[in-house]
Every structure is written in C-alpha cells, then in structure tokens.
Structure 1
Amino acid sequence: MSFTIRRLDPTDLPAVRALRLEALQAHPTAFGASYDTESKEELESYYRRLGNLIYVGGYVGDELVGISALMPLPPGNSAHITKLVSVYIQEKARGTGMSSAMIQTLIGIASRLKFEQIILTVEAGNSHASMLYERLGFVAYGRHPKSLKIAGRYYDELLMHLDLVAAGA
C-alpha cells in the first residue's frame, strides 16, 4: 500500500476530528482524552487544537488514515521540549510503515524548529507502539503507575524521550 505524509492545516479539520474520535473510541487506553468528553467539543476547539499543535497526516489516496502531532511545551524553562501526541493509524494502514514515516516527519520538523527533545507517553501494555518508538531512537526513562483510569481499571504509562541533540537530528 502506498501512502503520503503531509503537514495538516485547518482545511483538514473535519477529517482530523473524525479520525481522532475514531481513535478515542477504538483505543481508549492509548489516549489521555476520552471519547465521551471530546465528542461533545465544539468544532472551534479543534481549530484551536490544530493551531497549537503541529499535525501530520498519513494519506492513502485522498483519504486521511493516520494522524500524529507535536505539542510544544509552554514558553519558559521547558521551551526546548515538544511532546509527541495523538498518534493513530487506521487498521487498514497498519504494518505499512506509515507510523514510522509520520513520526520521522515530526522528528524532522522538531529539529528544524530547534527543539532539543521530544517526549511521549505510551500505555505500558502497548508493546507494538513502544517498540516502534525504540526503533526510532526513543528511550524509556520512567513509568507512571495508574496514569490512566478507564471504566474503573488503571493503566500504567511508559515515559519516553528522544534527545535530538545527541541523535544529531
């Protein structure tokens, strides 16, 4: 399956929202946000989010089937760090290399924007995702116990980072 990766903009908002809600509903343990809360948000809140995040999308033809984003930390002493968030690929596009391509695109963007680190969290039981991040150079540096609580059940998250300076990115 061939695909393309490109940076998303406000014209992509309807497709981003639909894909994000699909992700939250299908894989609630992969996200800090919940479908119930986010599905009730006004479309304007998505415009604000898209404006604050650096989204890339994976396309098969004209169809958006994958999203991922960088969330720069607020100005101040942590302004050199950005966080990888909202990574999701529809099942039909998994195993194609799209996830890796999207994240590598974001690593390149982070480097060009002079970020020094990318951090992320991943549900501790999601070995496919954590192995992908490790292959891309991310290193686990901690575990947040009971980070998520969904339907009365707790889930731990691994904390990972990529040092862009050390990686020469």
Structure 2
Amino acid sequence: MPETYIRTARPEDEEALGLLDRVTWSTLHSVQPSPQPPYDPFFSGRFGPRDHLVAEADGRVVGYIRLGFPTPLAVNAHVRQILGFVVAEEARGTGVGRALVRAAVQEARRQGARRITLRVLGHNTPARKLYEAEGFVIEGVLPGEFLLDGAYVDDVIMGQAL
C-alpha cells in the first residue's frame, strides 16, 4: 500500500466517498439498509466536507472518518463523536484505519473537545480492537439493541477523555 495522507474532505470527494460507502456496506458495521439507487448524496446539511477526514493513497480515497457532535445540545458541545468510519477493503490491515482514528482524536482536541465517543456493533471485533488499542474504553453496552441478519447484536458505547 502506498503512503497514506490524511486530510479534510473536499466537495469534489463526494462521489468517491459515496462509492466507498456503498461498496463497503455490511451488517458488520451498519444498521442501515443496504444502499440502493437512486443514491442519496454523501454530504448533507448535517455533515459536509468539514466533518470528514479522508485517507488518500496514490490520489485515491481509501477511507474516511466522520466527526461530529453527539447531540445538538449546548451542554454536550464539549464532546465529539465518531459518527462514521470506513476503510476500503484493499487498505484494511495497512494502518489506514489507525491513522484515521488518531487523526479524529487529534481533530477533536484541536476543536477544544474534552471527550470523544463512538458506538460500535458488538460483533465488530476488528473495529473494537482498534478502538481499544487507541485508548477507547467501553462505557456502556445496550444488549441486543439491533436485529441484523436474524441475530440480536449489542450496541457498544466507547469513549475516552482528551
């Protein structure tokens, strides 16, 4: 895998990010239905390019992480949450995911956040191991929160102080 560069997303990344989202979709990490045409735009009024860090290798987008607020409440504005995280199949196991998580933590700190949190499906062992290796701890579990592929799956809440 060529050297990976992490940067803030740009409007012209929209098509590549949307495609990456669609080709990597899986119930391992998504509770949303499988994307079907016509596809919604990747960027929205809620999440624009400024809310995404992109991993680029050889001029290609190979991953992204979305960082936002967990709620619109002012009393919760000191917290950032990872609200989306995808790595292209061919880039998995190469450090791209780790670089994106580290960049998200750094960006949350830069924004003045005091905490960063995320939610991960209980059966997504690779993601959970990565988060734990990067200092996230389990702060709560919602047992059997989702029914995916006929099985009940936990929703695991993880976080860390910044």
If the length of structure 1 is used for normalisation, what is the TM-score? 0.85
Going from structure 1 to structure 2, the CA distance change for 1:67 and 1:152 (only over 3 Å counts) comes to same
Q: Distance in 1 between matches of 2:127 and 2:105?
A: 16
Instruction: Confirm or deny that 1:58 pairs with 2:55.
Output: yes
2:45 equivalent in structure 1: 48
Going from structure 1 to structure 2, the CA distance change for 1:53 and 1:75 (only over 3 Å counts) comes to farther
Equivalence map 1:80-119=2 (5 Å): 80-119=78-117
| SS of residue matched to 1:125 | coil
Structure 1's unaligned 5+ residue stretches are 165-169
| SS of residue matched to 1:35 | coil
Using the TM superposition, give the Cα deviation of residue 59 of structure 1 relative to its aligned residue in structure 2, in angstroms.
1.4
If the length of structure 2 is used for normalisation, what is the TM-score? 0.88
2:24 equivalent in structure 1: 23
Q: Which has the higher helix share?
A: 1
Runs of 4+ in structure 1 deviating by more than 3 angstroms, as ranges, are 39-42
Match of 2:65 among 68, 76, 80: 68
Using the TM superposition, give the Cα deviation of residue 85 of structure 1 relative to its aligned residue in structure 2, in angstroms.
2.2
| Sequence identity (%) | 26
Using the TM superposition, give the Cα deviation of residue 131 of structure 1 relative to its aligned residue in structure 2, in angstroms.
1.2
Cα-Cα RMSD: 2.0
2:15 equivalent in structure 1: 14
Q: Distance in 2 between matches of 1:41 and 1:92?
A: 23
1:128 equivalent in structure 2: 126
Q: Distance in 2 between matches of 1:53 and 1:23?
A: 22
Going from structure 1 to structure 2, the CA distance change for 1:130 and 1:64 (only over 3 Å counts) comes to same
Using the TM superposition, give the Cα deviation of residue 33 of structure 1 relative to its aligned residue in structure 2, in angstroms.
2.5
Counterpart contact for 1:31–1:86, Cα < 8 Å: no
Q: Distance in 1 between matches of 2:24 and 2:82?
A: 16
Q: Distance in 2 between matches of 1:155 and 1:21?
A: 22
| SS of residue matched to 1:114 | coil
Using the TM superposition, give the Cα deviation of residue 89 of structure 1 relative to its aligned residue in structure 2, in angstroms.
0.9
